[in-house]
Amino acid sequence: MKKYVEMNKQELNEELVKLKAEYKKYQEMSLSLNMARGKPCIEQLDLSMGLMDALNSEADLSCEDGTDCRNYGVLTGIDEAKVLIGAMMENKPENIIIYGNSSLNVMYDTVSRAYTHGIMGNTPWCKLDKIKFLCPVPGYDRHFAITEYFGIEMINVDMTPEGPDMDQVEALVSSDEAIKGIWCVPKYSNPQGYSYSDETVRRFARLRPAAKDFRIFWDNAYGIHHLYDDDQDYLIEILAECKKAGNPDMVYKFASTSKITFPGSGIAALATSLNNLDDITAQLTNQTIGHDKVNQLRHVRFFKDIEGMKAHMRKHADIIRPKFEAVLEILDRDLTPCGIGEWTKPKGGYFISFDAPEGCAKDIVDKAKKAGVTMTGAGATYPYKKDPHDSNIRIAPTYPSLSDLRTAMDIFTVCVRLSAVSKLLATM
């Protein structure tokens, strides 16, 4: 088969007729398939049903130090949970606060606290004329939603397979005091599935920001979310690198069990320097008496230790690996011969990033929806939902069944080809 760019007008028109007939066939099936968000499927949720049996009315709900988890107190989380989550995050228990069910909520709180009260004695952001944040793109839409909500100006930074373009990051951070932070998903990034190289992490640690209260918002959401036992990405630990580089306070590191146990019913955590912890707990004391210690204890009793958690994640991988492989197989089968589109091949995480021909993403997503497949909105992976190339589409393979996913991807690739052929014809 010829690549589309090699076809003449007659050949493209013939291809368009075939694609329209195939597309109409799918429309007539009245499908309703949802690939909009990176949600675990039912089979993944079933893996954690043992959580419901980890504690019961006859269980000892006391910690090893005698703390009664049914009562008030323990502001920063029980010790056992700090040990477990610390092992997951590769940080010491003393550098961790255990929160409630959502790391996104912790990130929002962290931005809000900086906005209203400042960071470690610095001027509250709300009292400054201009606040800016760096946003590696494509990136995580919910990160961008937080900073947009607070009226913070977002600046795009290009992502590469090694992580954010550090030449851009270093130049911007060192020259503009209004830049107060950067969003990062450093391992199996959302949406590309990239993991930051050692050099990228070390360059982050060696940043010399103009703003004294600059912070790296390091959302390590997929730290143990590997697809393969024998082929995994590794990430060097950012807090240790920052300490070595003389920047011990520059990072807020976030994680949760949301895609490990039950989303919305897991536990979230923040790891950071002792100075930052003092600053945060001074505020946290006024916000809560403590988070859900019973749920923290439940997770500890269920997993026991980090090895139990890793074994659990291998079960997740067994369920979702075939889905990722199916997506990649269908993209390669249907689009590689046509010479259209580019996509990532992650070793973990929850997403595959697809780049359509420029100017086609919105059209593809719209066509897919009209054929019964709901995708993440085009533009969602950019601040203000404005993809300057109208190209990037986030593919979320985990939630549908394997058979539904295959059908959805068959439809998706038809939509990609339809849009690409129509665009080429419009230029002739």
Pairing of strands 352-355, 342-343: antiparallel
Give 354's Cβ-side CA count (13 Å radius): 30
d(CA 338, CA 102): 42
d(CA 219, CA 107): 9
Beta bridge partners of 136: 157
Note the pLDDT of residue 76: 98
Chain-centre distance for alpha carbon 410: 25
Per-residue model confidence as pLDDT tens for the chain (428 residues): 889 999 999 999 999 999 999 999 999 999 999 999 999 999 999 999 999 999 999 999 999 999 999 999 999 999 999 999 999 999 999 999 999 999 999 999 999 999 999 999 999 999 999 999 999 999 999 999 999 999 999 999 999 999 999 999 999 999 999 999 999 999 999 999 999 999 999 999 999 999 999 999 999 999 999 999 999 999 999 999 999 999 999 999 999 999 999 999 999 999 999 999 999 999 999 999 999 999 999 999 999 999 999 999 999 999 999 999 999 999 999 999 999 999 999 999 999 999 999 999 999 999 999 999 999 999 999 999 999 999 999 999 999 999 999 999 999 999 999 999 999 999 98
**N- to C-terminal Cα distance for the chain?**
21
Note the pLDDT of residue 39: 95
d(CA 120, CA 113): 11
Note the pLDDT of residue 114: 98
Tens digit of each residue's pLDDT (9 = 90 or more) over 38-69: 999 999 999 999 999 999 999 999 999 999 99
d(CA 403, CA 412): 14
Domains of the chain: 4-45+310-426 (3.90.1150.10), 61-304 (3.40.640.10)
- Edge-first strand order for the sheet with 342-343 is 342-343, 352-355, 392-395
Both tokens of 332, joined, read 């390669």
Pairing of strands 352-355, 392-395: antiparallel
d(CA 111, CA 101): 18
Note the pLDDT of residue 1: 80
Note the pLDDT of residue 225: 98
- Is-cis flag, bond preceding 138, omega within 30? yes
d(CA 23, CA 42): 29
Tens digit of each residue's pLDDT (9 = 90 or more) over 353-409: 999 999 999 999 999 999 999 999 999 999 999 999 999 999 999 999 999 999 999
| SS3 annotation, the chain | CCCHHHCCHHHHHHHHHHHHHHHHHHHCCCCCEEECCCCCCHHHHHCCCCHHHHCCCCCCCECCCCCECCCCCCCCCCHHHHHHHHHHHCCCHHHEEECCCCHHHHHHHHHHHHHHHCCCCCCCHHHCCCCEEEEEECCCHHHHHHHHHCCCEEEEEEEECCEECHHHHHHHHHHCCCEEEEEECCCCCCCCCCCCCHHHHHHHHCCCCCCCCCEEEEECCCCCCECCCCCCCCCCCHHHHHHHCCCCCCEEEEEECCCCCCCCCCCEEEECCHHHHHHHHHHHHHHCCCCCHHHHHHHHHHHCCHHHHHHHHHHHHHHHHHHHHHHHHHHHHHHCCCCCCEECCCCECCCEEEECCCCCHHHHHHHHHHCCEEECCCCCCCHHHCCCCCCEEEECCCCCCHHHHHHHHHHHHHHHHHHHHHHHHHCC
d(CA 100, CA 388): 37
Q: What is the pTM of this model?
A: 0.97
Residue 192 burial class via C-beta count within 10 angstroms: exposed 0-12, middle 13-18, buried 19 and up:
buried
- The answer to whether 363 touches 207, Cβ cutoff 8 Å, is no
